[in-house]
Amino acid sequence: MKRVLRVLLRAAGIYLALLITLAVGTATYYSLYYQTNGSLVVDGKERQYLLHVSKKYDRSKPAPLVISLHGAMNWPGFQRDTTRWNALADEQGFLVVYPAGTGFGPRTWDMNGYGDPAKMKDVRFIAALIDKLRAEYSIDASRIYADGLSNGGGMAFMLSCALAHRIAAFGTVSAAQLLPQSVCRDAPPAPVISFHGTRDRIVPYEGGQPWIAPLPFPDQREWTAAWAARNRCAPKPTLTMAAADVQAMEYTGCADNASVVLYTVQGGGHQWPGGRPVPLWLVAQMTLMGLPIGPYADSVNATRTLWAFFRAHPLRQR
């Protein structure tokens, strides 16, 4: 019996060492590979970002700005490659910036324990980043948008609470929402479009608390309905099929034309629909850590659908 126990403990130790080696190796590689190209000081600390300026940019014509937020323990460069926003920016003539969260190596957006989004250090960072980019480039103040993946989707929600007077519309993909809609006290209506897969095991579509989450995640349909209530939309949504395996649930008749849309991707995992699939080696690594990424889906292109929604929702005077 003792021998069996020793074998099991040794196997567990080898498994743990393998996970640590993989995690450290991945963090080191991406920290070197995904370099940022801009920085600013906020609250006495240097913050980084990765900026892409469209090849069609013309300073005489104010251009839209998309702020795209990476997931937890990730990098701006990974968000760039996953979303493929740069190619669409070059095609359509706008700027896209990928801010970096906090931490060493891989970064995270810190939202735990916050009750007032306006006091969040990461909100102040994004506000200062907008100011810096508007000072350096010709940016249309009525067409600034924000989207995010996973933890970045949760951060996009925080921005909708605190910066809806500056950011026109918001988008989320597999959003990790850790805080309730009630933290948006007195926040104005904010247009939002979301994507979520039914086979997402990291942020479950029907809600729940996987081991990595400090708090339970909400059911996506209930969360969307709560956002629609915030925007004072008509209570009954319209259901349509955007693709054979993608249902769109849209709330209209909202205050300030702040419509709310949820795209449910049947069988989709914790990935950006229509973007770059998560590399297989990283899928395997995450699975070993008990965080299965789940299937990739491309029947809807989240980036292009986000852009169409953003274009239809410029900032209104509030």
**266-316 pLDDT, tens digit each:** 999 999 999 999 999 889 988 998 999 999 999 999 999 999 999 999 998
**Which residue, among 140, 39, 142, 45, has the nearest Cα to 98 in the 3D structure?**
39
Question: How does residue 4 score in pLDDT terms, banded at 50, 70 and 90?
Answer: very low
| Helices (H), ranges, the chain | 2-33, 76-83, 85-92, 121-136, 151-162, 220-230, 280-288, 302-311
Encoding tokens for residue 164? 């809806």
pLDDT value at residue 30: 57
Question: How does residue 318 score in pLDDT terms, banded at 50, 70 and 90?
Answer: low
Task: Give domain 34-182+189-311's CATH number out of 1.10.10.60, 1.20.1250.20, 3.40.50.1820, 3.30.470.20.
Answer: 3.40.50.1820
Going from N- to C-terminal start, the domains of the chain cover: 1-33, 34-182+189-311
* Average pLDDT of the residues of the chain: 90
**214-252 pLDDT, tens digit each:** 889 999 999 999 999 999 999 999 999 999 999 999 999
**pLDDT surpasses 70 at 9:** no
Question: How does residue 46 score in pLDDT terms, banded at 50, 70 and 90?
Answer: very high
Instruction: Give me the half-sphere count of Cα atoms (radius 13 Å) on the Cβ side of residue 202.
Output: 25
Q: Which positions ≥6 away from 212 have C-beta within 8 Å?
A: 202, 290, 291
**pLDDT surpasses 80 at 15:** no
pLDDT value at residue 8: 45
pLDDT value at residue 26: 54
Question: How does residue 89 score in pLDDT terms, banded at 50, 70 and 90?
Answer: very high
Query: Which pTM value belongs to this model?
Result: 0.90
pLDDT value at residue 19: 41
Question: What does the alpha-carbon distance between residue 213 and residue 176 come to, in Å, rounded to a whole number?
Answer: 9
pLDDT value at residue 222: 97
Question: What does the alpha-carbon distance between residue 36 and residue 107 come to, in Å, rounded to a whole number?
Answer: 12
**105-148 pLDDT, tens digit each:** 899 998 765 567 777 899 999 999 999 999 999 999 999 999 99
